[in-house]
Structure 1
């Protein structure tokens, strides 16, 4: 006989773990089952801060998805990484922790008609989530980092803060940005990200925080089952009553909550008979609910690199990265003492968000819908992002040792208007969906990409930075619009911020799949709580948003079932 729990949560990433923890820790202690398709991710070495750049390659921790060939990116199939195992993508991400613009959350609340998602309430959830460590290395001026205590939490399960040591050229580079007209921001997690800042990491004392930290200590009323890839939902009429995988079932007396992410929640729904009827019938899947919007609306952030080798005296990267013994010794020091060169290199970066006047004055902007233009003009909403000190050499096969003394500037464009899709390609529920984000498909996206890259080049051509450049490793061959766009086509990568495939909206909306209480419209006892429901693409690296999405869903469930 299948075992019955009060609540079943499918997926243990940031959202799923937050839902599970919120329910299990409520006063009435319901029985909670958290199901994870991957393993338990117990290897502590995978949590060492500086190793964040390598977990992505761990085949046991990454589903290793790829997009379909992207028409506007030279038909390249682009890596589409998703975390596998307890912690989900928080176990393989790069520990970049920011929360976006307060106007993002005001827009979310407006769009779905629910003030639960307004900044004031979401901000409190961010504070409840984190323990912020605001200590800075000795001698760092407050102009670079001066967070207000009122903007941060002190007792949450996710530890965030600055690296213990910083590379010698971090602060001089920030000074150059300021001189070149990119103003400084002393705290990018205040609700106003605009300006150049130093990165806040989801790590502390050499150890990364992941969603697994929400589950420690494990409540007595919670069970975690790993290596259980949910294939479909079990229904009784139009009510979800459980899930199954390879013939094994678990049942829920109250609700099933899907938190498998923007790429896999639609897979579970479609193989359960919820999705576009025509597509389901093509793969002989009985239709439970015809819902054409399932799998539509995929959004993501993308980036491209600018890379230059530098003069010998402008960085010390080659001496460190080019000496395996030095790196091995530094890694052991980090594990034992939580300090040393490996907390210095690749753990503290510069990061900034900015607006582009040229983008706002473009024809492509003027042709956007009125609501979208109004959102892009809001005070705290950025149009692009710049990041410094990214260790790109670890992600490029065959990177030459002689080029290790280099500088990498990563460039993002934000608020893409392209809407991709995830669709069935097999009747086998173990086969991934087809992922087509349609990168650079919309004219506005191409304009945003061009202007973001042009702004970054304005910095790399700034005299006091450019004088130390020796060789271009990755840069546009020309600075015309077409030359800048070609650089994007050749180098664009996904940053793993997928969202929007099971969209939250107001009842009656043409693309609404779940309501603002996370309930799947037309089905009882089934909710979705992960980045797939988020109806905007927030101006940040989205692990933080996944956490508070799960926290918000848990709050609503606790209230509905009087669990407090």
Structure 2
């Protein structure tokens, strides 16, 4: 006999845990079930701050997805990792905790016609999520970070802040960025990310924070079932009544909330008979609701690396990463008290978001729809990003040990206009969809990629940087548009910021899958709350947006069902 709950949440990433926590902690204590496809992720060693770059390589924590061959990127299949297990992608991501721009949320509210998504209420939810630790190392002054207390939370379940110790070449690089025309920003989570900042990490005291922290300690009215991938939603006509996982049925008396992410939520919907009619019929899936917009609208941020070996003595990375005994001793120290080199190396980045000079005078910008031009011209909306101190040696097979004293700056292009899609390729509900993000597929995207890389090259060519450069390990062959774009094609990577495949909109919008209350249009009792519904491509690394999306959905459910 199937178990019955008030609410079922599918997926335990940032959005899913935020929905589950918000419901379970409501005053009337509804019965909530949280289903997770992966394991418990209980081992504390998975939370070593400096090893945050390695957890995504653990096969049991990663769905291991790849894109379809990318037409505009030399037909490469590109890594499309997604987290698996409690915490979802927050357990395998790289620890960037960024909120985006206040104008992102004003645009979200405009698109969906709901003030709940404006910056002021969104900022209040961000503050409720975090305990922000503003402390800086004693050797680093407020010149580099000076967040206002009023802009942050002090009692939330996520512990975020700055690393306790910085690599010695980080502050000097921030100064070089400043001198090159990328001025310092004291707090990238103030609502205005423009400028160069010290990264606010989803970590504290050497320990990664994950979405699991939102449901720890676990409320008595919350049931968590791991190793329970959901294959389909159980429908009675146009009403969702439960879900099926590995042949077992779970029923919901109120609502089912899908929070499986931009790649897996459309998969569950399609195998439930909700999706593009021709795709469902091709694979002999009975059509419950023909919804052509599901799986469309996929967007992402992309990056490429600039890598340079540095003069001996200018960094200490080779002495650490090149010495297994040093790394082992550091791990012992970390297990003791969370301190030491594993809470220093690769634990703090320089990060910044910027506008491109002259972008608005380009023909590619002029060709955009008026609403998009207006959005990109808003004062807090960036066009590209740079991040420093990316530990590139972990990402390049056979990285030469003699190059460990290197510095990597990664360059991201923003506001991609190309729209990719995820599509059915099997009747098997456990088989992944086909993922085609269409990287570099729009003329505007190519323009922004070229110009972003050209701007970043100003930094590495600044005399205070170049004087310590020994050699270029990775970078474009020349300065022409063709050479810069060619380098993007050869080295482009996803930022794993997949967004938009079950888009939120107003009833009647051709591309809307859910309404502003997260309800799947045309199906009663079914909602989606994850990055698939977000109708903008946020100006940030999206884990914080996933959290706040879940919090917003939970607030709406608590109000609608009178649970407060």
TM-score relative to the length of structure 2? 0.99
Q: Distance in 2 between matches of 1:415 and 1:224?
A: 36
Aligned ranges 1:220-231 → 2 under 5 Å:
220-231=220-231
Q: Which residue of structure 2 lines up, in the alignment, with residue 245 of structure 1?
A: 245
Q: Which residue of structure 2 lines up, in the alignment, with residue 442 of structure 1?
A: 442
Q: Which residue of structure 2 lines up, in the alignment, with residue 38 of structure 1?
A: 38
Shift of 1:541: 0.4
CA-to-aligned-CA distance 1:135-177 (integer Å, 9 cap, x gap): 0000322110000001100000000000000001111111111
Q: Which residue of structure 1 lines up, in the alignment, with residue 49 of structure 2?
A: 49
Residue 58 (structure 2) pairs with residue 58 (structure 1): yes
Q: Which residue of structure 1 lines up, in the alignment, with residue 371 of structure 2?
A: 371
| Equivalent residues of 1:206, 1:335 under 8 A apart | no
Shift of 1:245: 2.0
| Equivalent residues of 1:96, 1:201 under 8 A apart | yes
Q: Helix, strand or coil: the match of 1:45?
A: helix
| Equivalent residues of 1:36, 1:229 under 8 A apart | yes
Aligned ranges 1:143-182 → 2 under 5 Å:
143-182=143-182
Shift of 1:341: 1.9
Q: Helix, strand or coil: the match of 1:53?
A: coil
Moved more, 458-467 or 426-435: 458-467
Shift of 1:395: 1.2
Q: Distance in 2 between matches of 1:344 and 1:87?
A: 23
Q: Helix, strand or coil: the match of 2:20?
A: helix
Q: Distance in 1 between matches of 2:49 and 2:257?
A: 31
Q: Which residue of structure 1 lines up, in the alignment, with residue 215 of structure 2?
A: 215
Shift of 1:337: 2.3
| Equivalent residues of 1:61, 1:84 under 8 A apart | yes
Shift of 1:332: 1.5
Q: Where in structure 1 are there 5+ consecutive unaligned residues?
A: none
Q: Distance in 1 between matches of 2:337 and 2:102?
A: 38
Q: Which residue of structure 1 lines up, in the alignment, with residue 297 of structure 2?
A: 297
Shift of 1:291: 0.3
CA-to-aligned-CA distance 1:23-82 (integer Å, 9 cap, x gap): 000000000000001111111110111121110100010000000000011000000000
Q: Helix, strand or coil: the match of 1:477?
A: coil
| Equivalent residues of 2:276, 2:290 under 8 A apart | yes
Q: Which residue of structure 1 lines up, in the alignment, with residue 104 of structure 2?
A: 104
Q: Distance in 2 between matches of 1:430 and 1:341?
A: 41
Q: Which residue of structure 2 lines up, in the alignment, with residue 362 of structure 1?
A: 362
Aligned ranges 1:26-425 → 2 under 5 Å:
26-425=26-425
| Equivalent residues of 2:48, 2:343 under 8 A apart | no
| Equivalent residues of 1:185, 1:193 under 8 A apart | yes
Q: Distance in 2 between matches of 1:458 and 1:48?
A: 34
| Equivalent residues of 1:358, 1:451 under 8 A apart | no
Shift of 1:335: 2.0
Q: Distance in 1 between matches of 2:308 and 2:457?
A: 12
Q: Which residue of structure 1 lines up, in the alignment, with residue 469 of structure 2?
A: 469
Shift of 1:343: 1.5
CA-to-aligned-CA distance 1:424-459 (integer Å, 9 cap, x gap): 000000000000000000000000000000000011
Q: Distance in 2 between matches of 1:308 and 1:334?
A: 29
Q: Helix, strand or coil: the match of 1:387?
A: strand
Shift of 1:359: 2.1
Q: Distance in 1 between matches of 2:129 and 2:455?
A: 34
Shift of 1:374: 0.5
Q: Helix, strand or coil: the match of 1:351?
A: strand
Residue 501 (structure 2) pairs with residue 504 (structure 1): no
Q: Which residue of structure 2 lines up, in the alignment, with residue 487 of structure 1?
A: 487
Q: Distance in 2 between matches of 1:161 and 1:372?
A: 33
Q: Which residue of structure 1 lines up, in the alignment, with residue 544 of structure 2?
A: 544
Shift of 1:182: 1.0
Q: Distance in 2 between matches of 1:525 and 1:290?
A: 17
TM-score relative to the length of structure 1? 0.99
Q: Distance in 2 between matches of 1:330 and 1:454?
A: 38
Q: Distance in 2 between matches of 1:341 and 1:527?
A: 44
Q: Distance in 1 between matches of 2:289 and 2:342?
A: 52
| Equivalent residues of 1:421, 1:436 under 8 A apart | yes
Q: Helix, strand or coil: the match of 2:415?
A: coil
Q: Distance in 1 between matches of 2:476 and 2:297?
A: 31
Q: Distance in 2 between matches of 1:540 and 1:335?
A: 31
Q: Helix, strand or coil: the match of 1:79?
A: coil
Moved over 4 A (4+): none
Q: Distance in 1 between matches of 2:216 and 2:321?
A: 35
| Equivalent residues of 2:262, 2:531 under 8 A apart | yes
Q: Distance in 2 between matches of 1:10 and 1:337?
A: 35
Residue 18 (structure 2) pairs with residue 18 (structure 1): yes
CA-to-aligned-CA distance 1:449-491 (integer Å, 9 cap, x gap): 0000000001111111111111111000111001000110011
CA-to-aligned-CA distance 1:102-138 (integer Å, 9 cap, x gap): 0000000000000000000000000000000000000
Q: Helix, strand or coil: the match of 2:488?
A: helix
Q: Where in structure 2 are there 5+ consecutive unaligned residues?
A: none
Q: Distance in 2 between matches of 1:246 and 1:548?
A: 30
Q: Distance in 2 between matches of 1:140 and 1:403?
A: 27
